Structures are given as structure tokens and as C-alpha cells.
Amino acid sequence: MGSIIMNEFGLFEAKNKLSELVSRAEKGEEILITRHGFPVARLLPARRPYDPEKARAAIDEMRRISQGVTLGDLTLKELTNAGRKY
């Protein structure tokens, strides 16, 4: 998603265009609703629900990328102990 561009609508206009504004928010747009020129509410896109298939695919990809990656001569215990010094 790119940068969010906020558009401003007065309450009366927002009420009359609610369906359109919800569709725009769903696409990532942020809508500012004003009353007499003062901001009173923002209409934002909702977070997408957790998708276990996407999460599993991401984990599988991280595992694939990390195959063959080593710590050289270092051990995990040495790195842990070094981190505790700070």
C-alpha cells in the first residue's frame, strides 16, 4: 500500500456518500470527516484478518532462504553470552 492521502468531507456530505467513502477506505484511503470545519472523525481501512495460509507461506520462505546460512565458527551459545555482556 502506498502513502495514505487523506480527503476531507463535511458530515452532511459524508452521510450522503457513506457507501462511496467506505469503498474508498477499503482501498486504503483515509477519510477525514468534519463538522463546521472541525475534524470529528476519521474513516480508515480495517486491518485484514489473519490469514494462516499466508503466514505458513512466509515461514516456509524464511526457512528456504535460511538454508545453508551458518554462523561461521561461532556457536549460538557464544553469541548468546556475548549479547549478555551488553
Q: What does the alpha-carbon distance between residue 24 and residue 45 come to, in Å, rounded to a whole number? A: 8
Task: Please count the structural domains in the chain.
Answer: 1
Per-residue cell: 44: 480508515
> What distance lies between CA 56 and its chain's CA centroid?
18
Task: Report pLDDT for 76.
Answer: 84
CATH number assigned to the domain comprising residue 54: 3.40.1620.10
- Residue 39 sits in which domain range? 1-86
Q: CB atoms < 10 A from the CB of 38, how many?
A: 6
CB 25 within 8 A of CB 43: yes
DSSP 72: T
Task: Report pLDDT for 4.
Answer: 52
Lowest mean pLDDT among 9-13, 34-38, 41-45, 81-85: 81-85
* For the chain, percent of residues with pLDDT exceeding 70: 93
Average pLDDT of the residues of the chain = 87
